[in-house]
């Protein structure tokens, strides 16, 4: 399928270089059986400029650094969420012990572990969220259009939305599709 997409992009480039308009090219591509998404992506790869040769737009890339940052971000989100829930349940067990259990463990180890995990993971999550959001807003053209990463970023924005650091207009300006 990748070679088919390359052929479609080549066709778009050649058609634009011969002076055809995007609506005409779109109609021809759709008539040939390409999907609307494939046609839009092929035509959006070139800037709308009155220049004799089609000008390609910069292509976003995913670096290993970005993948690592997102992996650590969502790992710390998981640790923070899990340990916060565990801590809340431990406090409930302390406040309302089960009277049917004869030997009731105190749970101080669990509370200590959950609290220490939160002390490390949650500030790391907040710092990475701030850093990634700052990087995204600074480098709007370097945003990856990978749908999986876009979905992860939407999840981050949902979390950040409570802090008013990210909204749908931020995503639209960066080229992300909003749901």
Q: Is the pLDDT of residue 69 over 90?
A: yes
- What was the pLDDT predicted at 78? 96
Q: Is the pLDDT of residue 8 over 50?
A: yes
The reply to whether 35 and 73 lie within a common domain is no
> What sign does the dihedral 130-133-138-143 (CA atoms) show?
positive
Count of domains for the chain: 2
Average the pLDDT over 27-48 and give the result: 87
- What was the pLDDT predicted at 119? 96
Question: Does 50 fall in a domain?
Answer: no
The reply to whether 93 and 158 lie within a common domain is yes
- What was the pLDDT predicted at 146? 47
Residue-wise burial string across 83-110, b where 16 or more C-beta atoms lie within 10 A, e elsewhere: bbebbeebeebeeeeeeeeeeeeebeeb
The reply to whether 81 and 127 lie within a common domain is yes
The reply to whether 80 and 113 lie within a common domain is yes
User: For residue 117, what are the contacts with CB-CB under 8 A and spacing of at least 6?
Assistant: 79, 80, 83
pTM of the model: 0.53
Question: Does 149 fall in a domain?
Answer: yes
Domain of 100 in residue numbering reads as: 64-174
Average the pLDDT over 105-115 and give the result: 83
Question: Does 27 fall in a domain?
Answer: yes
The reply to whether 135 and 70 lie within a common domain is yes
The reply to whether 69 and 120 lie within a common domain is yes
The reply to whether 106 and 18 lie within a common domain is no
Average the pLDDT over 111-140 and give the result: 90
Only one residue has tokens 């308009």, namely: 21
Question: Does 51 fall in a domain?
Answer: no
The reply to whether 36 and 69 lie within a common domain is no
Question: Does 49 fall in a domain?
Answer: no
Residue 45: band (very low, low, confident or very high) from pLDDT cuts 50, 70, 90: confident
Q: Is the pLDDT of residue 9 over 70?
A: yes
């Amino acid at each position: 399928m990748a070679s088919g997409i390359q052929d479609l992009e080549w066709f778009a480039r050649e058609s634009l270089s011969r002076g055809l308009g995007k609506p005409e090219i779109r109609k021809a591509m759709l008539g040939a059986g390409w999907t609307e998404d494939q046609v839009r992506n092929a035509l959006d790869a070139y800037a709308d400029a009155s220049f004799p040769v089609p000008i390609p737009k910069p292509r976003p890339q995913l670096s290993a650094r970005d993948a690592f940052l997102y992996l650590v971000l969502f790992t710390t989100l998981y640790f923070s969420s899990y340990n916060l829930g565990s801590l809340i349940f431990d406090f409930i067990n302390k406040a309302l012990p089960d009277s049917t259990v004869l030997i009731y463990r105190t749970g101080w180890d669990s509370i200590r572990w959950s609290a220490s995990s939160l002390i490390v993971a949650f500030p790391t999550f907040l710092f990475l969220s701030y850093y990634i959001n700052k990087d995204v807003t600074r480098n709007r053209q370097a945003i990856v259009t990978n749908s999986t990463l876009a979905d992860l970023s939407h999840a981050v924005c949902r979390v950040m939305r409570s802090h008013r650091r990210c909204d749908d207009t931020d995503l639209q300006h960066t080229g992300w599709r909003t749901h």
